[in-house]
Amino acid sequence: MTEEEEFGYENILVEMQAGVMQVTLNRPEKFNALSVDALGERHEAMMSADEDPDVGAVVITGSPETKRPAFAAGADISEMAGLDVMTLRSFALFGQEVLLTIENLDKPVIAAVNGLALGGGCELAMASHVRLASEDAAFGQPEINLGLIPGFGGSQRLPRLIGRGPAFEMLLTGDAIDAATALRLGLVNKVVPGDQLLAEAGSLAEKMASKAPLARELILDVVNRGAALGIEQALRIEADLFGSMASTEDTRNGLTAFLEKRKPEWKGC
């Protein structure tokens, strides 16, 4: 990305260009593992993106400076060791809160998975709306190998994304899958060469950022809300939101622009 705007964080790097915020987990010495502080800074960055009208989409990735390519190699085990019941539960709840913020953001979030996405890293990718992966990426929930279960939503999002059978296999063996398998199972949208990953993610994010802001926000909302409902109730919500857009300037402008064969000018209202 060029024409960058940099923000002052210790565990992440934040850059802005052309309506896209790029958030890079920057803990290369820990293979970009998710510490409490790193989660807190990511949460702060997501809230900033949510409130900033100049942000139309977000790309999340991991620092490329690790010894082995890593998006995020799980939660920081050194912080977890020795925690008591209540503290470990609080850590899980905090991680879940951060990932729910990503999942429920009213702007699209694209995970550019540039290497290992294990444990919390896989959960972070799954909370994103779209996932692109480099050819050497790997995905896994290895918590069972540590005598644990997933804590940031992996037991719930993984079956919803790839189905119960493949999810049970990953969760109960702790084995990782490669990018090609992740693509076949529907865990990722696309696999690209590593040197093209950020450009591909940035291009897709810029395309999404250029679309009608209110429609983009409502699409994210109705998909997220509908996923937890029966089909009939979800369809009623869709119809309600569809009808409510008749009063918006963007819808009127979009329909008129189509008929007049011109490019619409979105106002976000």
pLDDT digits (tens, 9 = 90+) for 131-167: 999 999 999 999 999 999 999 999 999 999 999 999 9
Where b means 16+ CB within 10 Å and e means fewer, 195-216 reads: eebbebbbebbbebbebbbbbb
Cβ burial of 165 (10 Å; 0-12, 13-18, 19+) is exposed
Active-site residue, selected from the candidate residues 123, 217, 232, 249: 123
The pTM score is 0.92
Percentage of residues in the chain with pLDDT exceeding 70? Answer: 97
Q: Which residues contact 243 (CB under 8 A, 6 or more apart)?
A: none
Q: What is the pLDDT of residue 149?
A: 95
Quick check: 82 pLDDT over 60?
A: yes
pLDDT digits (tens, 9 = 90+) for 161-212: 999 999 999 999 999 999 999 999 999 999 999 999 999 999 999 999 999 9
CA distances from 187 to 113, 132, 237 (A): 11, 9, 27
Q: What is the pLDDT of residue 222?
A: 95
Count of H helices and E strands in the chain? 11, 10
Quick check: 260 pLDDT over 50?
A: yes
pLDDT digits (tens, 9 = 90+) for 52-70: 999 999 999 999 988 889 9
Q: Give the Cα separation of 118 and 172 in Å (integer).
A: 14
Q: What is the pLDDT of residue 265?
A: 87
3-state secondary structure 75-97: ECHHHHCCCCHHHHHHHHHHHHH
Quick check: 87 pLDDT over 90?
A: no
Q: Which residues contact 96 (CB under 8 A, 6 or more apart)?
A: 151, 152, 153
Secondary structure element (H or E) that encloses residue 223, with its range: helix 213-226
pLDDT digits (tens, 9 = 90+) for 96-105: 999 999 999 9
Could you write out the DSSP letters of every residue in 86-154? Answer: HHHHHHHHHHHHHHHHHHT-SS-EEEEE-SEEETHHHHHHHHSSEEEEETT-EEE-GGGGGT---SSSH
Active-site residue, selected from the candidate residues 41, 51, 65, 143: 143
Quick check: 8 pLDDT over 80?
A: no
Cα angle, residue 256 at apex, residues 250 and 262 outer, rounded to 5°:
100
Mean pLDDT of 20-26: 96
Q: What is residue 186's DSSP assignment?
A: T
Catalytic annotation present for 3: no
Q: What is the pLDDT of residue 219?
A: 96
Quick check: 5 pLDDT over 60?
A: no
Catalytic annotation present for 143: yes
Q: Which residues contact 93 (CB under 8 A, 6 or more apart)?
A: none
Q: What is the pLDDT of residue 7?
A: 64
Q: What is the pLDDT of residue 2?
A: 40
Mean pLDDT of 112-120: 97
Quick check: 4 pLDDT over 60?
A: no
Domains in the chain: ranges and CATH = 12-209 (3.90.226.10), 213-259 (1.10.12)
- Shortest CA distance to 139 belongs to which of 161, 108, 109? 161
* Helix (H/G/I), strand (E/B), else coil: 67: coil
Any idea which residue has 């109730």 for tokens?
Answer: 233
Q: Give the Cα separation of 110 and 115 in Å (integer).
A: 15
